[in-house]
Amino acid sequence: MTRGIDNGLVISPGRVNLLGEHVDYNDGVVLPAAIDCSVKIRFEQRQDNLVSLTAEDMRGRCLLNLDRLEDKTTVEGKQLPVWALYPAGVLWNLLRHGLAVSGFNAQFSSNIPIGAGLSSSAAVEVGFAVVCESLGNWQIDRLDLAQLCQQAEREYVGVNCGLMDQFACACGVENHAVMLDTRSLSYKPVPLPPPTSLVIADSSLRRSLINSAYNERRRDCETVVAYFSKIDPIICSLRDLRVESLLAHEQNLPPGAVRHARHVVEEIARVDQAIKLLEENDAFGFGKLMLATHNSLRDFYEVSRPELDILVESAASLDGCLGARLTGAGFGGCTVNLVLDDRVDHFITQLKDAYKRQTGLEAVIFATRASRGAYLCAQ
């Protein structure tokens, strides 16, 4: 085996989804962007078969044996802490697919808010995959790398996630969103309008009820697909359904299922429209679609909450804001805002004040930019 480098620094970005929410498990197209909040992993080669992990933010450390990853235990036989499952799962899955993984020491830290819907866990997974790639001197396609990380999270960590998070962290392009067709897995970068910035507003509310609500929404989508597939076998997912057909049959379906499916069907159409607008550099048109998506997530998919609505409504009223919406699964977390560059500082100050005045809560609000996917820093 040819050895790679002996030590280095990997930077792995978080991500924000600009449009295409809750469509990834319905064969839709998503439009995320990697952001310049990131996980930083410093690593060095070891001469044995052990991996030492230090999570600086959590003041946690554990030592793993590459031959015993299946056990999900440290070398002392203790159960792995939750934070360690994400890198350990990646190592386990890379080895399972015949890719070289050697022992190493790694210290990592992050400035991605945890639990805010900005994919801190996916950033860790993709970052450690790049560490192994660098040490092992092998390379695979970035989409394949993202799929291996997704598989690790599903099968090792036990979280039934979609591909979008790992994809964005692995395949991000500077100053671009990256379109991913979750049915065909085709993807391409889409330019973001140059006179605008992305501003993230963290509501400070961590997501609650999301597991039960997520499972309920998925069941409703499956119920609608099962109904229509009996009418037309070509319909395999909500991507194959037109909103006119859905509404024509709404009396035969549970009202909640119709509302939830309507969001997905219309959101898939919005993403198609959004890609065209971005390619035409129409920032104002794209911003209007962001607001339409938030309204749909609030009224049809029912995953917003009053504090997120206040952030979006307050943002939309401010000078320089072209679009705003909740991003991520909902029930807490963040909003994403499209703001004219020369109004960003004023926008952040005013939105913080408005949110505090109406909720009594402090929002963490910061400007970010679309970043490249995970990479090994030049030595």
Q: Are residues 68 and 172 in the same domain?
A: yes
Q: Which of 165, 202, 220, 240 is catalytic?
A: 165
Q: Are residues 98 and 83 in the same domain?
A: yes
Q: Are residues 173 and 201 in the same domain?
A: no
Question: Does the annotation mark 272 as catalytic?
Answer: no
Q: Is residue 2 part of a domain?
A: no
Q: Are residues 119 and 224 in the same domain?
A: no
Q: Which domain holds residue 272?
A: 197-368
Q: Are residues 317 and 187 in the same domain?
A: no
Given a cut of 90, whether residue 355 has pLDDT beyond it is yes
Residue 218, class by beta-carbon neighbours within 10 Å (0-12 exposed, 13-18 middle, 19+ buried)? middle
CA distances from 285 to 114, 251, 277, 293 (A): 31, 34, 7, 13
Average pLDDT over residues 343-350: 98
Would you say the pTM of this structure is higher than 0.75? yes
Average pLDDT over residues 229-248: 97
Q: Name the pLDDT band for 208 (thresholds 50, 70, 90).
A: low
Average pLDDT over residues 128-134: 97
**Is the dihedral angle over the CA atoms 322, 35, 364, 87 positive or is it negative?**
positive
> What is the spatial distance between Cα 252 and Cα 226, in angstroms, rounded to a whole number?
12
Q: Is residue 72 part of a domain?
A: yes
Bridge partners for 198 per DSSP: 338, 368
Average pLDDT over residues 273-287: 97
Q: Are residues 112 and 210 in the same domain?
A: no
Number of domains making up the chain? 2
Q: Are residues 220 and 137 in the same domain?
A: no
pLDDT, tens digit, for every residue of 158-180?
Answer: 887 889 999 999 999 999 999 99
Given a cut of 50, whether residue 1 has pLDDT beyond it is no
pLDDT, tens digit, for every residue of 302-328?
Answer: 999 999 999 999 999 999 999 999 998
> What is the spatial distance between Cα 274 and Cα 277, in angstroms, rounded to a whole number?
5
Q: Are residues 210 and 143 in the same domain?
A: no
- Per-residue pLDDT at 35: 96
Mode of pairing for the β-strands spanning 104-110 and 50-55: parallel
Q: Is residue 288 part of a domain?
A: yes
Report percent pLDDT > 90 for the chain.
Answer: 89
Q: Is residue 318 part of a domain?
A: yes
Q: Is residue 244 part of a domain?
A: yes
Q: Are residues 314 and 242 in the same domain?
A: yes
List of long-range contacts for 239-248, beta carbons under 8 Å, 24+ apart: 239/23, 239/26, 239/27, 239/28, 239/183, 239/268, 240/27, 241/265, 243/269
Least confident window among 162-166, 238-242, 295-299: 162-166
Q: What is the mean pLDDT of the chain?
A: 94
Q: Is residue 49 part of a domain?
A: yes
- Per-residue pLDDT at 114: 76
Q: Is residue 231 part of a domain?
A: yes
Q: Are residues 60 and 204 in the same domain?
A: no
Given a cut of 70, whether residue 252 has pLDDT beyond it is yes
Given a cut of 90, whether residue 17 has pLDDT beyond it is yes
Given a cut of 90, whether residue 210 has pLDDT beyond it is no
Q: Are residues 303 and 208 in the same domain?
A: yes
Domain of 255, CATH number, reads: 3.30.70.890
pLDDT, tens digit, for every residue of 182-201?
Answer: 999 999 999 999 899 999 99
Q: Is residue 1 part of a domain?
A: no
- CB contact at 8 A, 219 and 242: no
Domain of 39, CATH number, reads: 3.30.230.10
Given a cut of 90, whether residue 359 has pLDDT beyond it is yes
Q: Could you tell me the two tokens for 81?
A: 């802490």
Measured in residues, the chain has a length of 379
Q: Are residues 48 and 109 in the same domain?
A: yes
